[in-house]
Structure 1
Amino acid sequence: MSNANTLPLDLYKANLELQVRIGKLFQEGGKQWLDYGYRLASDGIAESDAEIAQLLQSEDWQKLATLPAEAFWRQLQQRFGDSQAAAQIAITAQTGFAHGLQEAVQAWQQQTAGVLGEVAPAALSGGDSPWANLFKPWQQLLQAAATDTPAAVGPAAKGRK
């Protein structure tokens, strides 16, 4: 249960939790890219080892002469596959990040609204409470919006009509 005295701490905790969740999302995305880079490097080393082994085992001059062209086409096909995999990882990582960010912001909104919802009624009814002046403009805005008066529109929006 939150009260007016713990409001700043509760809001700070909600903001800190949001920052931690966003930081974790960045770390998870970075890990996905590092894993992909490690896999690419490992595959490249394995390809090079296979080509060198093939080169060392070759005893036919004609076959030896065709190795560079075969290696070129094999690597070209591999790079097309790598670019497709990179695009798929980028889509997956971005989708996961966006989904995680949406969840984090929604949790933050719920937590912040819950904290303010517990404190605001007491602060507004207190009249002399130090928080009453803080919540007074919001209360006026909400009342104006509820009655749909021109005050709810605001001076900036009136000029656009």
Structure 2
Amino acid sequence: MAIIWMIAGGAVVYIIFALKKYQDANEVGLRSMSEWLGVLEHSNSKQREKMSHSLILFAGKNLERQGILPKNGLRNGIILNREVCKENFIILVGEEAANLDSFDIAHRERALDATAARDYFSYCLTLVLAKRGADGIAMLAFKSRYPL
């Protein structure tokens, strides 16, 4: 019986530490996209991976709620795919959205400074999906496997 309690206690401690690891990454997603990119630039590879994972996951859930993506669409296609570099994927989606966006550079820069990273990335994904479809997202995921 004591072994069961030790295993259960260990599982609870593991879950608490796992949730704590992603708490900082989630909080960074509430900052503006320009701040998020600044934090990303000065982070180590493990922190960048967590931040990118969190941003993609949030955007996917947001677009699922809006009916734009199927349930677990980004999770299954991007997050669970170990070959996809999540950081590169975010950058490529942002660049593609900038190419597709009809707004001028000044407007885009204001949006980077004023919009939460989560919302900005959701907008970029929506724009790429609307103009390029799922194949466009798949191509960006493929390109993300290679250094930028």
Q: Answer whether TM exceeds 0.5 for this pair.
A: no
Q: Name the structure with the higher helix share.
A: 1
Q: Which has the larger radius of gyration?
A: 1
- Which protein, 1 or 2, shows the higher relative CO under an 8 Å CA cutoff with sep ≥ 6? 1
Q: TM-score under structure 1 normalisation?
A: 0.26
Q: TM-score under structure 2 normalisation?
A: 0.28
